[in-house]
């Protein structure tokens, strides 16, 4: 639609006002940012785990790896949860991208992880900490295509509510195109992955089954025995 | 099997789909004998609820006969059962507190995630109601898979008709919980917006729980007539100023408790409602909370607001200050169906609560699309529709006409 000169002038005025507001906002953000950075060197004061810190506080707390974490409450004693998790061969029953885990003995296990374009990636992980009923930590061997590590921490929830189960995971890819691809895939939404895996683990522990919405629909591509997303 | 499926706004069909199967040990399969169309199905029909996918099977007010059980289901083949719309595991923190609709395990990990992003915490699972609540197939079909069948299904004694107990699945406990949430005290006047099925059950429940008076608000003469039949005083909002009327009827203090049985699709031509309707259609907001606004403004100081009506997101122009300054207590939520099953079944069997007076139509499954249209367009004549897969195509039975009440 052709604009009259009058409308044009109004448009220009509006644009100027808009630019003014934007500049003022940027200025405020700059001042705010400087203020925030002044406290950068101090230790975070919040009573919260490192994976929920943000901004400068997070930079302070975090090492080189990107760390994701998630805590759920599971209505079972710490020891039961420890024992269930300690058997890594059960991971495929609740971890989305872990296809198989083989126990190699001595705290080592071989994991098959679903990679991009249908390619699987294998890696060997070793237990690095095993505190029965409290903590399990594992890390992939240095020459693995992807570098993954995880920590499961268990603490008593108050008054018979069971256990606070915290899963901390990190993924990194020291080398190799496939490794990078997998890490990227896992990292795209690693928090989401941790969230879903832990949710399934909780279902399994509390109800004895992994909840599924498998049921019929009028969508031809779906089977009534497969979960629908 | 044949099933009623959702394909988009105002597009409901009957399709042939695969039969459900036992997937988990605690599952059961039932052959549906009765399945009602709910007021909240209208929110799906109108496209207000996010997370529906074309091809989803509708229906969350279901009952039938057990035909197959998983190894860990306590149900037995041949039992007649009513299925709560809430899927609940019975094992989590929330279920143990009897907050069944907040179940932490019944929404599968993938769909729970989406609802967590939207609501702050994941919602519990529900049958036949969008993917935010699990994406489970509903029971407006010949067969239904019932997950966690050891927690939900209510086994019905012999000699009790389907129509008497079907509403244990949703609207009866929803009306009951609404009245319970109104924390009714001796001498209380309770005002109830919406005389649909939930409102009608809330009226009965409020009286059973000790309300002195119930004032019901709607604009459909037939629904107001049913409310009156249940003992309520009635207000047709087209002919009275509701707030003024409620004040005048309560000596100027307002009702002690108000119940919003309307939810997100409020009718009426008040200016706020028109603005909300436009916004909802432009996807600028999901709610049209006109009735709730009016309820909050009507409620007496220090009174209670109970909200069984369904809302799904953000509302504009919400009277927050009014709630604060008047010191109102707000209680709401999806119904913890399983909490009330035994108690309400007993009341039905003892004849203390009338559950069939509101049913206006029975129809075959094949007539579902036509029934959805009527449920949407002819709310005066269609007060509750029950689909019966046992009826043959074209069989629509009118159980109730409202000419007498209207005369």
Contacts of A218 in chain B (CB under 8 A): 3, 5, 7, 13, 15, 17, 54-57
Residue B104 touches partner A, C-beta closer than 8 Å: yes
Interchain CB contact of B196 with A (< 8 Å)? no
CATH code of A63's domain: 3.30.530.20
Regarding whether B297 and B344 lie in a shared domain, the answer is no
| A207 touching chain B per CB within 8 A | yes
Q: Which residues of B touch A202 (CB under 8 A)?
A: 104-105
| B130-163 residue pLDDT tens | 898 999 999 999 999 999 999 999 999 999 999 9
Output the pLDDT for position A55.
Answer: 78
Please indicate whether, in this complex, the C-beta atoms of B110 and A217 are within 8 angstroms of each other: no
Type and span of the H or E element at A150: strand A147-156
Predicted pLDDT of residue B312: 78
- Is some CB atom of chain A closer than 8 A to the CB atom of B3? yes
Best probe of the A interface among B59, B108, B140, B151, by most A CBs < 10 A, is: B108
Q: Does residue A215 belong to the interface with chain B, where contact is any CB pair within 8 Å?
A: yes
Chain CA centroid to CA A112, Å? 19
Residue in B287, B384, B386 with CA at minimum distance from that of residue B39: B384
Average pLDDT in chain B: 93
Same domain, A4 and A112: no
| Nearest residue to A203 via CA among B136, B118, B122 | B122
ipTM for the complex?
0.91
Q: Are residues B91 and B67 in the same domain?
A: yes
From chain B, pick out residues whose CB is under 8 angstroms from the CB of A93: none
Residue A152 domain-assigned? yes
User: Do A90 and A20 fall within a single domain?
Assistant: no
| Cβ–Cβ under 8 Å, residues B189 and B347 | no
Q: The whole model's pTM is what?
A: 0.87
- My answer on whether A12 and A102 are in the same domain is no
Identity of the residue in A162, A202, A219 whose CB atom sits nearest the CB atom of B105: A202
pLDDT at A3: 46
Is A221 a member of any domain? Answer: no
Q: How far apart are the C-alpha atoms of B340 and B332, rounded to whole Å? A: 16
Answer whether residue B406 is part of any domain: no
pLDDT of A33 strictly over 80: no
Is the per-residue pLDDT at A38 higher than 50?
no
Per-residue pLDDT of A55-97, as tens digits, reads: 777 776 655 455 678 899 999 999 999 999 999 999 999 998 8
pLDDT at A61: 63
Q: Do A206 and B89 touch (CB under 8 A)?
A: yes
Does residue A213 sit within a domain? no
pLDDT tens digits along B77-122: 999 999 999 999 999 999 999 999 999 999 999 899 888 888 899 9
* CA–CA min distance A54, chain B (Å): 19
CB contact under 8 Å between A213 and B125, yes or no, is yes
Question: CA-CA distance, A229 to A188, in Å (whole number)?
Answer: 18
């Amino acid at each position: 639609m052709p604009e009259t000169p009058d409308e044009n002038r109004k448009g220009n005025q509006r644009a100027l006002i808009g630019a003014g507001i934007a500049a003022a906002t940027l200025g405020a953000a700059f001042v705010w940012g400087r203020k925030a950075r002044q406290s950068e060197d101090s230790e975070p004061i919040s009573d919260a785990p490192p994976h929920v810190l943000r901004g400068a506080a997070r930079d302070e707390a975090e090492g080189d790896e990107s760390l994701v974490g998630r805590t759920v409450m599971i209505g079972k004693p710490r020891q039961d949860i420890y024992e269930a998790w300690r058997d890594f061969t059960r991971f495929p029953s609740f971890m989305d991208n872990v296809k198989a885990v083989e126990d190699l003995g001595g705290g080592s296990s071989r994991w098959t992880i679903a990679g991009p374009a249908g390619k699987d990636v294998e890696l060997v992980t070793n237990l690095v900490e095993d505190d029965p009923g409290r903590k399990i930590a594992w890390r992939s061997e240095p020459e693995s295509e992807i570098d993954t590590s995880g920590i499961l921490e268990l603490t008593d929830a108050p008054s018979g509510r069971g256990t606070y189960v915290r899963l901390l995971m990190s993924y990194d890819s020291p080398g190799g195109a496939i490794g990078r691809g997998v890490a990227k895939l896992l990292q795209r939404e690693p928090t989401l992955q941790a969230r879903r895996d832990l949710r399934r683990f909780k279902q399994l522990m509390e109800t004895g089954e992994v909840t599924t919405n498998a049921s019929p629909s009028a969508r031809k591509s779906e089977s009534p025995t497969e979960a629908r997303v | 099997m044949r099933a009623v499926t959702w394909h988009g706004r105002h597009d409901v069909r009957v399709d042939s789909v695969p039969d459900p199967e036992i997937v988990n040990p605690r599952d059961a399969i039932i052959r549906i004998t009765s399945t009602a169309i709910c007021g909240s199905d209208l929110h799906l029909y109108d496209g207000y609820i996010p997370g529906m996918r074309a091809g989803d099977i509708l229906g969350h007010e279901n009952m039938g006969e057990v035909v197959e059980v998983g190894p860990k289901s306590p149900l037995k083949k041949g039992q007649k059962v009513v299925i709560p719309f809430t899927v609940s595991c019975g094992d989590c923190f929330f279920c143990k507190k009897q907050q069944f609709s907040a179940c932490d395990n019944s929404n599968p990990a993938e769909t729970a995630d989406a609802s967590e992003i939207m609501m702050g915490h994941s919602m519990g699972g529900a049958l036949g109601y969008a993917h935010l609540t699990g994406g489970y197939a509903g029971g407006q079909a010949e067969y239904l898979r019932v997950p966690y069948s050891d927690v939900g299904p209510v086994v019905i004694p012999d000699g009790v008709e389907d129509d008497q107990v079907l509403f244990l699945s949703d609207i009866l406990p929803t009306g009951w919980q609404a009245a319970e949430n109104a924390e009714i005290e001796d001498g209380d006047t309770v005002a109830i917006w919406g005389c649909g099925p939930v409102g009608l059950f809330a009226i009965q429940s409020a009286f059973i729980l000790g309300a002195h008076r119930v004032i019901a608000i709607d604009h459909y003469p037939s629904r107001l007539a049913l409310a009156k039949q249940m003992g309520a005083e009635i207000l047709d909002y087209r002919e009275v100023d509701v707030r003024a009327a409620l004040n005048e009827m309560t000596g100027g203090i307002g009702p002690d408790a108000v119940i919003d049985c309307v939810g997100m699709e409020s009718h009426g031509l008040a200016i706020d409602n028109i603005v909300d309707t436009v916004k909802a259609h432009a996807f600028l907001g999901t709610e049209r909370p006109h009735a709730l606004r009016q309820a909050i403004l009507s409620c007496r100081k220090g009174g209670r607001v109970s909200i069984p009506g369904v809302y799904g997101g953000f509302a504009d122009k919400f009277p927050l200050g009014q709630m604060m300054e008047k010191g109102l207590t707000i209680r709401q939520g999806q119904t913890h169906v399983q909490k009330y099953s035994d108690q309400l079944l007993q009341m039905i069997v003892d004849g203390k609560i009338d559950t069939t007076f509101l049913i206006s139509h029975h129809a075959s499954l094949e007539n579902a699309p036509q029934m959805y249209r009527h449920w949407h367009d002819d709310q005066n004549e269609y007060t509750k529709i029950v689909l019966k897969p046992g009826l043959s195509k074209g069989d629509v039975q009118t159980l109730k006409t409202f000419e007498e009440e209207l005369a």
